Amino acid sequence: MNHPIISSLLKVYIAIYLSTTHITSFSNAFTAPHHNPHHSTSASSSSHHHHHHHHHPNKRSAAAALFSTSSSSDTERVFTTDPTAEASPEWELDCYSRPVIVQGKKLWEVLITDSTGSFRLCEALPSNKVNSRELRRVIEDAIDNAEVKPSIIRFFRGAMFNMINIALSEVDAIARPSRCTFALSQWLEERNRSTYPTMSGYRATMASAPARASFLDVRTPIKLPDALRGEKYAFVSLPLAEFRDGGAIDRDNVGVGRLCPVGGEFGKEFPADAFVQGIAIFTARAEALASWLAGTELSGFHADLRKRTLVMETDIENEYLMAKLNDLQREEAAAFEEGKDCLGGLHFVSVQLDDDSDPAGFWLLREIPEGI
């Protein structure tokens, strides 16, 4: 698979990188299941709808103005569409209480969108009907009314895992616990910023609760098995402009990877000349590692500067230890984390044979923001 554009781009920036610093060998830390029967299917299913991607030059700038809204007074349901976005069979779902009190009770909402944000469905649940049966009804209604039916439904909220899993168990789509709910995260941020605070029962104190239960923070990352270990890696960066509409990197040239959308409300404040921080992994087993990553719901990388580790995050709460950091790497990792903070958690990973080859897989990722 040849993607000369992305390859030459990375080559330029890796060359710049190499002239200023160095590529590091992984410690023995780097490694996952030797065989995953779902490799090829996961990789192909997660990217099959990308092949028909059409380019919309003004895609996101016009999006807000083009949202159409329909709601009915008997159920508190709001459905909006963005006609400039191509509908996707990969859906994203959340069901949770919001920082709003309605008639003395917390407001509960179901939010459903797809990975391109082509539609948004918000339905409030009465507090005595927060159960899997009611959630399944909302999901099945949405599927019945959808032109493009979902093949995968992702959900990130671990606190609601059981209820969402039960609701999805009889739905004709794959339930995927995942932090790759990029369109949903952006929508939740918008609602937290501009919708909930305007509601009469808004409680700012309820809005500041952390997204992750504290017990999750004591997790120990799992070591990746030798079969998938990368030999070398480098902290690298690419211009944000290359990921925007008209840039060189799009869904058609990222191998088995995925791209977090960077349009709409999210990203409009970022400077035009910003650089996205990333990690290039060089390995003789690039194809195997890329296809394994494609099946893991890869959601991000973070450097734990205190423990001096580079960690990969997958699914809702899995973590893999990728490398241990020495003093110099720790400095580079600190710059990587700082760059992520400047761009709302945005970063990328590229898996390739060497610094001269096309990526076998390329992912533009975003950490789920705290407190959504």
What integer is the mean pLDDT of 123-139?
A: 96
- The yes-or-no verdict on residue 15 having pLDDT over 80 is no
> Pairing relation of β-strands 24-25 and 232-239?
antiparallel
Sheet strands side by side (includes 318-324): 222-223, 318-324, 309-314, 298-304
**Residue 147: CB partners within 8 Å, gap ≥ 6?**
87
Sheet strands side by side (includes 90-102): 68-72, 77-81, 119-125, 105-114, 90-102, 152-155, 174-177
What integer is the mean pLDDT of 30-56?
A: 38
Identify the residue with better confidence: 96 or 44. Answer: 96
Which residues, listed in sequence order, are joined to residue 237 by a DSSP beta bridge? 277
Tokens of 149: 């039916």
CA distance 257 to 270: 24
Predicted pLDDT at 18: 52
* pLDDT tens-place string over residues 56-89: 444 433 344 344 444 433 458 999 999 999 999 9
46 close to 154: Cβ distance less than 8 angstroms: no
Q: Lowest-pLDDT range, 245-259, 294-308, 339-353? A: 245-259
Q: Lowest-pLDDT range, 1-5, 224-228, 274-278? A: 1-5
**Residue 246: CB partners within 8 Å, gap ≥ 6?**
55, 57
Q: Lowest-pLDDT range, 42-46, 261-265, 297-301? A: 42-46
CA distance 260 to 250: 10
Tokens 């705290």 belong to: 370
- The yes-or-no verdict on residue 9 having pLDDT over 90 is no
DSSP labels for 63-121? HHHH-EEEEETTTTEEEEE-TTSPP-SEEEEEEEEEEEEETTEEEEEEEEEETT-SEEE
Amino acid at site 149: K
DSSP state at residue 202 = B
Q: State pTM to two decimals.
A: 0.81
Average pLDDT, the chain: 82
CA distance 319 to 329: 20
Handedness of CA 252, 265, 91, 182 (dihedral sign): positive
240 close to 262: Cβ distance less than 8 angstroms: yes
Predicted pLDDT at 67: 44
| CA 149 vs CA 55, 172, 269: distances in Å | 22, 9, 33
Predicted pLDDT at 356: 86
